[in-house]
Structure formats: structure tokens, C-alpha cells
Amino acid sequence: MAVEHEAQQKRTPTVVETFPVVGISCAACARSIESLSRSVPGVQRAEVNVATATVTLEYDPLEVQPADIASVLREFGYDLVQAEDTAIALADAAQREHRSLDQLKIRTIGAAIATVPTVVLGMGAWHTQRWAILLSAALSSAVVLYFGRQFFVRAWSQIHARALAMDTLVALSTGIAWGWSLVAALIPAQLRALGIEPHVYFESAATIVTFILLGRYLEQRARLQTNAALLALVELQPRSVHLHRNGVLTDTPLAAVQRGDHIVVLPGERIPVDGVVLDGQSWVDEQLLSGESLPVAKAQGDRVYAGTLNGDGALVIEARAVGRGTILGSIVRAVERAQSSKSPTQELADRIAAVFVPVVLAVAALTAVGWIVFAPDKASSLGLLSVVSMLIVACPCALGLATPTAIAIALGRAAEQGILVRNARAFDVLPELTHVVFDKTGTLTQGKPTVVHATWYVPELERRDYARLVRAVLERSTHPLSLAVAQWLNVPAAGECTVEQVRGRGLRAWNDSHTILVGNRAWMEEHSVELSAESQAAATEVFVAIDGKLLLAVWLRDSIRSDARKVVEYLRSRGTALHLVSGDRRDVAEYVAAAVGIEHVLAPALPQEKQDYVRRLRLETKGNVAMVGDGINDAQALAEADTSIALGSGSDVAVHAADVTLIGEQLSLLIVLIHLAERLRRIIRQNLGWAFLYNLVLIPIAAGALYPINGVLLHPMLAGFAMAASSVSVVTNSLRLRYGM
């Protein structure tokens, strides 16, 4: 047991990566790829997103590498695209997808050229002539076995992976129609001797393949637009940079750049890395990341970010983060992760699609038995047509594409608007919000408080030395109040100390000479620091004590965001109950709540109390609760809510704990997000409604349900056209999300 425990401790953490996959032609391919990937030792999880043609893999790097998984998938017609950089991988995958689309176009045209004379021969007056039958056999064989060979290759991979899907149905239906026709064409006399009429259906087999190839071509061409927004983000990073190394300036691929390298960015070029300006002055357009419409002045020592646009000056930059490590790279990764996450609606559709094909095969078998039992004289003709039509019309592509395609497009559209959705589940929750809980500082307010009053409790001659020590403590915190007081002190920091941050209270610092406390009134009272009675209305208090005695009291106010009241009024008009929770004093919280129009206030509140408040709302109201925050002390409440939104200006902990990040720091983006979620819900309902209606109506007709009533049967050619049209219609309907908000 000890050895086993030691082995577990030494076990390498798994790696989670997302890779583009070329060759995903329909929703059902996902289960094949997932099953094949999981069959590789060392792979613990595999999730495919059909709409974006990507697979998210969790694997043990000591047991398996992506190249091993790629080789397994390649055997079954899927190409896993590997690259060190997200931009390179996505661009490479896009190029391969376009090449694959071109090849599919050629196969479709070739199949159509061979199918037209096959249909003419099968429908013309000479369709019973021996030469016409043999020529039809040759032409349809070219269509089925050459232009449509991918269906059979994929069907074999699906059978091997025990994930029966669309290609299985297409291969079965066309294989049955073509195989039976070939037997009937080669040995008609022997079949007649057995009492079986040798009907041939070469035109049906060829037409099915052609229609499905055409539908797949149109579907894939439309689906390439799904990743347009993500690719647009990726393409903001240049593929090469001007690298200044050892006194020589050379053009170098971005993938070869390392931290610490010096890069020259010329006027009008995109900045390729996150870094610090070493030399030069310019204006940089940072609207992509900050939402600020005006360019920002940059000079020596200023931070710059990948994807932003340099103005009229040349800059020399020291690279601090490259590729996936940049802020832009983190945005791309977050969108990828969100696209790989599945909403409850999508999970339900996936479960239905997973059992759909086996059910269809069972119904097809019952259909064949029914024709043999109740109409044995027509079983080899009309019965065969019914089985083939049903196998074709029942392909679950529209059902499988209905949700993921729409979600992927919505994620890209959100990213274009400055909204980063990490968890697709947020789209299910947002249209039905019953409660929204807001943090105050940095969420409803600017998060940049200013000092309105301060009182020192030491003689003026001693203040400067104390101020330098206090500033050294405050600069170790990212809290807006700490930063505001540090700026107000307006002295350089001095002195080394150890600093501990206590959530909901403040800071504790110490060195060889002093113990320093910085925080709210409760924090001082916990340490028995005697406070003055002085106060300021609706202002936030920050006290500083040294060695147990009050040193400084500061009062700050934070200006309310200009769009906060607009957001609150919008949510109230929807009937949403609004709450404000804050670690600040109650009078300050109530002042902000009254200014924007929020009824319910909890203050002061520790992080755990914020979390408990959100939990109580969820349990007592049975509704959907959203938490909107931006700080470390909001992280627990963000994680507790049904969905969570963080402002991009907030702390890393809050941003990473949230389902959604408003990158542009505009609270009004919440309105845009809710509108998008509502449009997405309507589109998904339309898609699913069409997919279910299509199958509900056409499967019984294809099986021959109307034949006893009025002699109507669904011809396999029409079944192929209907199946292709259903998939294309779902993708096209989803693309409407790209336009209008």
C-alpha cells in the first residue's frame, strides 16, 4: 500500500489540450473520434465539438503523446492537427479544411456527372435493355465505390469504435441498393427461377450518394464560418516578427520567439507579444482588450499586449509572454474551452442521437420483416426501397448539429462583442434569470476610489517615514482601496516586510521592527486597536495601525459606473430581483444601491457570507441566480451561482472563477449577453423542432406507413435529398446568429 501511495504521489498530472480535427463531416463523427481516442492507453477523456471541428483531450503525457492519438485517428480518416501555438494550429486546420472542402467539391461534381446518365438510363424506355443495365452498373459503381468510398471507410471506423452513426446508415442503404442491383444485373435468370423479380436500383444508389455529398459540401462550407470569429482573434497575432538579437534585426516566425527577446514593432503593425516597452514612443489601439475607443500613449516602461495595433511610432519591446501565454492567447483558449463544454440542451440532444441509430436499424429490420410477411410479392422491390429510404432519411445529422453549431457561432459572436464565455451552460441560464447579485466595488462602481478625507494620528515630522513603510505594504495588494491609498500617499515605498492578505478584513504585515495592520473597522477591532469617532457619510473607511496603535484613517468614495443604472433598469423590466452584496459598510452599500435602483442589500459581508447569501437564494427561491463581481472576495459567490459574470478589470481569481468575462469592462455588455442568449435559445429550439419534426414525419413515410392507404412510398432519391436539406437548413439557421444583436 505504501508503494502504491508513493506511486500516486509521483503520478504526473494529466494535460488537457484542444486540437482541430480535419474530416469531421457530420455530428455522428464525434462519437467515433471520442471512442477511438479513448481506446488509446493514457487518454482519460475525449470530447468532440462538431461545430468547431475540434477535440479536447485529457491525457497522461508519460503514457501517450498527441502524435500517438493522431496516428490512430488517421487510420480511420481523421486528421488531428498539432502545433505548439494556437494561432498556427487553427490556421493550419483552416487551410486543411479548405483543401478538404475542395476535394469534396470535386467528388460531388464527379458523382453528379456519373449520376445523371445513370438516372436517365434507369428512367428511360431502355431501362430493361441489357446494355443499359450493365452501363448503369458501371456508372453507379464509380459513384458508390469511388466518389462515395469515404462513407464505407467511416462506417467501418464507426463499427470498430462501436459508435454507429450517419455513415453507417449511408453505407448500409447504398450498399444494399447497389449490392442487390449488381446481383440482379449479373444473375437475373437465377433470381427469376427462385421466383424473385430482378429489379435494379442503380440510379437510387448513385443519387443517394450524390445528394448526400452535395449536402455535406454545403454543410461544411457553412460550418467553416462557425470559427470565423475565433480565427479573426487568432489572426490578430502576426505570423512573423522583427527580432532584435545580438545587434542584428531579422524577420523570425512568432513561434520561435522566447521570453526576454527584444522585438521591434513598426508603425501600423500588430504587437505580437505581451511585453514592456524598452525604447520608443507611440499610441496603441487597445480597444480589443480594454474596450477603450481612444488610443493609449506608450513609452519606456509601459505594458503592451499581443493583438493590439501600434500607431505612428516604432517601439522596441521586451517579450514577457508569447503565444498561448499572452492575454489574447488566454482569450482564445477560453473560447476553445467554452466551445468544448456542453450545455444541458446539447447533452440531451447528444444522448438522443447516441441511441437514435441503433433504434433506426431495429425499425429498419422490422420494416423488412413487415414487407416479407404482409407483402411477400413486393418485398424484393418496394420493401427494399422502403428499407433503403428509411436508413437514409433517419440519419441524425440535423439533430446532432442543432445545438453545437448554434452555440459555437454564439460564442464567436460574443467574443467579437468583448464577451468571453467560458461555460456554454451560461446560455441556458441567462434567459431565465430570477435573481442577479451584484458586488459593489469594481462592478457597480468604477473600482477606482479616490481619497476624500484623511486624518493622521502622529506628528507631521514622523509622517513621511511611516508613509513610505505603509506604501510598501499597500503595493503588495491588488485591492482597489489599497492602490488608491498608496497613490494618495505620494511617496516612494521603503522597507522590507512580509505581507498577508486576509479576505474580507485587510492586510497584516510585519518586519523586524513593526507590525502593521491595514483594513476596515472590524479588522481593527479584532486586534483591539482604539479608533476615533470621526466618520464621513457614505464613504469607505481604511485604517492603518502600527504596533497596535492607530496611525492613519482614510475615507474614500468610488464613482458609480455610467451604465450601471441602465443595466439595473433593464433587469428590473424583465422582472428580475436585484441584490447588492458588499464587504463595505452598510451605509456605503446602501448609498450605491439607492443610486442605481437596487432593493436588497447585504453589507458588510465576508466572502463566505456572500457565498451563503447566493446559496440561500438558490435554495429558497428555486430560481436561477447570477452573480456579477470582480474581486478575489467574490470568487466563492461566483462559483456558487447558477451562472457567474466577472468584469475584465477584476482579479485573476474572479475572472477565472466566472462562466463569463466582460472583457471591455462595460457592465452594459450584460444586456448584450442576455439578448444573445435569448436569440440562441430561439435558434436552438427552431433547430431541434425542425430536426424532430423531420424525423417524426419522414421515418414512418419511408417505412411505408402510407402505402396501404394511398400507395405512397418515399423514393430513396427523395430521401437522400431530404436528409441533406435538413442538415443544411439547421446550419444555415444557426448562422443567423452572426448578424444583428
Which residues form the catalytic set?
Answer: 439
CA-CA distance, 82 to 55, in Å (whole number)?
A: 11
Query: Residue 528 burial (CB < 10 Å; 0-12/13-18/19+)?
Result: exposed
For the chain, the distance separating the N- and C-terminal CA atoms, rounded to the nearest angstrom, is: 59
Query: Residue 538 corresponds to which cell in the numbers above?
Result: 457614505
Distance of CA 391 to the CA centre of its chain: 33
β partners of residue 45: 58
CA-CA distance, 697 to 686, in Å (whole number)?
A: 16
Find where cell 462519437 sits.
31
Q: Tell me if 335 sits within 8 A of 412, measured CB to CB.
A: yes
- Torsion sign over Cα 441, 446, 450, 452: negative
Q: Tell me if 630 sits within 8 A of 657, measured CB to CB.
A: no
Q: Tell me if 302 sits within 8 A of 316, measured CB to CB.
A: no
With vertex at residue 67, the alpha carbon angle to CA 62 and CA 71, rounded to the nearest 5 degrees, is 125
Adjacency order of strands within the sheet including 506-510: 450-456, 549-557, 540-546, 515-519, 506-510, 498-502
Please write down the long-range contacts of 686-689, taking CB distance under 8 Å and 24 or more positions apart: 686/733, 687/398, 687/401, 687/402, 687/403, 687/405, 687/406, 687/730, 687/733, 687/734, 688/345, 688/349, 688/399, 688/402, 688/403
Kindly provide the residue ranges of all beta strands, DSSP E only, lying in 197-314, ordered along the sequence. 240-245, 248-253, 262-265, 274-279, 282-285, 296-298, 303-304, 309-310
**Residue 498 burial (CB count, 10 A):** 10
CA-CA distance, 303 to 690, in Å (whole number)?
A: 51
Pairing of strands 43-49, 54-59: antiparallel
Find where cell 500517438 sits.
68
CA-CA distance, 632 to 516, in Å (whole number)?
A: 22
Query: Residue 407 corresponds to which cell in the numbers above?
Result: 452555440
CA-CA distance, 463 to 67, in Å (whole number)?
A: 64
CA-CA distance, 352 to 10, in Å (whole number)?
A: 41
Find where cell 457619510 sits.
537
Where do runs of H (alpha helix) occur along 224-313? 228-234, 287-290
CA-CA distance, 552 to 14, in Å (whole number)?
A: 50
Query: Residue 120 burial (CB < 10 Å; 0-12/13-18/19+)?
Result: middle
Q: At a CB cut-off of 8 Å and minimum separation 6, what does 221 contact?
A: 101
Q: Tell me if 628 sits within 8 A of 443, measured CB to CB.
A: yes
Question: Which amino acid, one-letter code, is at 115?
Answer: T
Where do runs of H (alpha helix) occur along 309-433? 327-340, 344-374, 384-393, 397-402, 404-416, 425-429
Query: Residue 174 corresponds to which cell in the numbers above?
Result: 447504398
